[in-house]
Amino acid sequence: MYQEYELIEKIARLFGTPEGLTLGIGDDCAILDPGRFDLVTTDTMVEGVHFDRTFSSPQDIGWRAIATSVSDIAAMGGGPGAFFLNLALGPNDDELFVDGLLEGIHEACEKLSPPNFEIAAGGGDLTSTHGPTVITVTVLGEASPAGPVTRSGALPGDRIVVLGPLGSAVAGLAILQGAFDVDPADYPTLVRAHRRPQPKIHAGALLGLYGVPSALIDVSDGLIGDLGHILRRSGVGASIEIHNIPCHEELSKLASEVGLDTLDYVLEGGDDYELVVVAPPSRMTKVWDLARRHDWDVYDIGEIRSASEGLRVLAADGQPLEREYSGYRHFA
Amino acid sequence: MYQEYELIEKIARLFGTPEGLTLGIGDDCAILDPGRFDLVTTDTMVEGVHFDRTFSSPQDIGWRAIATSVSDIAAMGGGPGAFFLNLALGPNDDELFVDGLLEGIHEACEKLSPPNFEIAAGGGDLTSTHGPTVITVTVLGEASPAGPVTRSGALPGDRIVVLGPLGSAVAGLAILQGAFDVDPADYPTLVRAHRRPQPKIHAGALLGLYGVPSALIDVSDGLIGDLGHILRRSGVGASIEIHNIPCHEELSKLASEVGLDTLDYVLEGGDDYELVVVAPPSRMTKVWDLARRHDWDVYDIGEIRSASEGLRVLAADGQPLEREYSGYRHFA
Q: How far is A26 from chain B (nearest CA, A)?
A: 8
Contact B78 A29 (CB under 8 A): yes
Residue A153 lies in a domain: no
Closest residue, chain A, to B28 (C-alpha)? A72
What is the model's pLDDT at position B18? 85
What's the whole-number mean pLDDT along residues B199-228? 97
**Nearest chain A Cα to B45, which residue?**
A127
| A154 within domain boundaries | no
Any domain includes B323: no
Examine the domain organization and report whether A131 and A189 are in the same domain.
no
pLDDT in tens, B210-223: 999 999 999 999 99
The pLDDT value recorded for residue A297 is 95
Facing residue for B72 by CB, picked from A28, A152, A330: A28
Q: Closest Cα to residue A175, out of A58, A267, A269, A242?
A: A269
Say what the pLDDT of residue A110 is.
96
Distance from CA of B306 to the nearest CA of A (A): 21
Q: Nearest C-alpha of chain A: how many angstroms from B40?
A: 5
Last residue of a domain, one of B79, B109, B142: B142
Per-residue pLDDT for B332 more than 50? no
Interface contact flag, A331 B233, Cβ < 8 Å: no
CATH code of A132's domain? 3.30.1330.10
Q: Do B128 and A26 touch (CB under 8 A)?
A: no
Chain B residues touching A29 at Cβ < 8 A: 39-41, 72-73, 75-76, 78, 141, 148
Amino acid at A162: V
Mean pLDDT of B263-274: 94
User: How distant is the Cα of A13 from the closest Cα of chain B, in angstroms?
Assistant: 16
Name, in order, each residue with C-beta under 8 angstroms of B289's C-beta and a sequence gap of 6 or more: none
Task: Kindly provide the ipTM of the predicted complex, given to two decimals.
Answer: 0.95
CATH of the domain at B310: 3.90.650.10
Query: Are A172 and A131 contained in the same domain?
Result: no
Q: Which residues of chain A have pLDDT under 70?
A: 324-332
Would you call B78 and A42 a contact, using CB atoms and an 8 Å cutoff?
no
Range of the domain at B302: 159-314
Query: Alpha helices, DSSP H only, in A181-294?
Result: 188-195, 201-209, 223-234, 249-258, 262-268, 281-294
pLDDT digits (tens, 9 = 90+) for B16-74: 888 899 999 999 999 999 999 999 999 999 999 999 999 999 999 999 999 999 999 99
> Which residue among B26, B33, B86 sits closest to A136, beta carbon to beta carbon?
B86
Domain count, chain B: 2
- Residue B241 DSSP symbol: E
Kindly state whether residue B130 falls inside one of the protein's structural domains: yes
**Whether B134 and A129 lie within 8 Å, measured CB to CB:** yes
Taking contacts as CB-CB distances below 8 angstroms, the residues of chain A near B207 are none
Return d(Cα B159, Cα B7) in angstroms, integer.
48
pLDDT at B38: 96
Shared-domain flag, residues B89 and B228: no
Residue A33's closest chain B neighbor by CA?
B38
- Let me know whether A53 and A82 are in one domain: yes
| Cα gap A125→A17, rounded to integer Å | 16
Instruction: Judge: B138–A141 Cβ closer than 8 Å, yes or no.
Output: no
Domain membership flag for residue B128? yes
- A128/B88 touch (CB, cutoff 8 Å), yes or no: no
Pairwise CB contact (< 8 Å): B26 & A233: yes
C-alpha dist (Å) from residue A235 to A231, A308, B160: 6, 9, 58
Length of chain A in terms of residues written: 332
Query: Does A127 lie in the same domain as A39?
Result: yes
Which positions in chain B touch A4 (Cβ < 8 Å)?
328, 330-331
Of A150, A217, A332, the CB nearest to B128: A332
Q: Are residues B58 and B178 in the same domain?
A: no
Burial class from Cβ neighbours inside 10 Å (0-12, 13-18, 19+) for residue A129 reads buried
Residue in chain B closest to A49 (alpha carbons) equals B129
Q: What mean pLDDT, rounded, does chain B reach?
A: 94
Indicate if A127 and A175 belong to the same structural domain: no
Which one of A31, A86, A328 has the shortest CB-CB distance to B148?
A: A31
Range from A323-332, B131-140, B319-328 that averages highest in pLDDT: B131-140
Per-residue pLDDT, A330 = 41
Pair B189, B229 in one domain: yes
Per-residue pLDDT band at B321 (split at 50, 70, 90)? confident
B330 located within any domain = no
Nearest to A332 among B32, B41, B127 (CB): B127
Check whether residue B166 and residue B131 sit in a common domain. no
Q: Is residue A149 part of a domain?
A: no
User: Is residue B328's pLDDT more than 60?
Assistant: no
Q: What is the pLDDT of residue A276?
A: 98
CB pairs under 8 A between A and B: 218
Instruction: Please tell me the pTM assigned to this model.
Output: 0.95
**For residue A35, how far is the Cα from the chain centroid?**
26
CB of B311 within 8 A of CB of B224? yes
Domain final residue, candidates A117, A142, A167:
A142
In the sheet with A120-128, reading across from the earlier edge strand, the strands are A120-128, A79-89, A134-142, A39-46, B30-32, B21-23
Name the pLDDT band for B329 (thresholds 50, 70, 90): very low
* % residues pLDDT > 70 (chain B): 97
A29/B128 CB distance under 8 A: no
Note whether B103 and B163 are same-domain residues. Answer: no
Q: Are residues B25 and B124 in the same domain?
A: yes
Distance from CA of A80 to the nearest CA of B (A): 11
pLDDT > 90 fraction of chain B, expressed in percent and rounded: 92
The verdict on B59 and B90 lying in the same domain is yes
In a domain, B114, yes or no: yes
Residues A88, A94, A95: CA angle, nearest 5 degrees: 100
Residues of A in contact with B123 (CB under 8 A): 40-42
Judge: B217–A28 Cβ closer than 8 Å, yes or no: yes
CA distance A101 to A107: 10
Residue in chain B nearest A25 by alpha carbon: B41
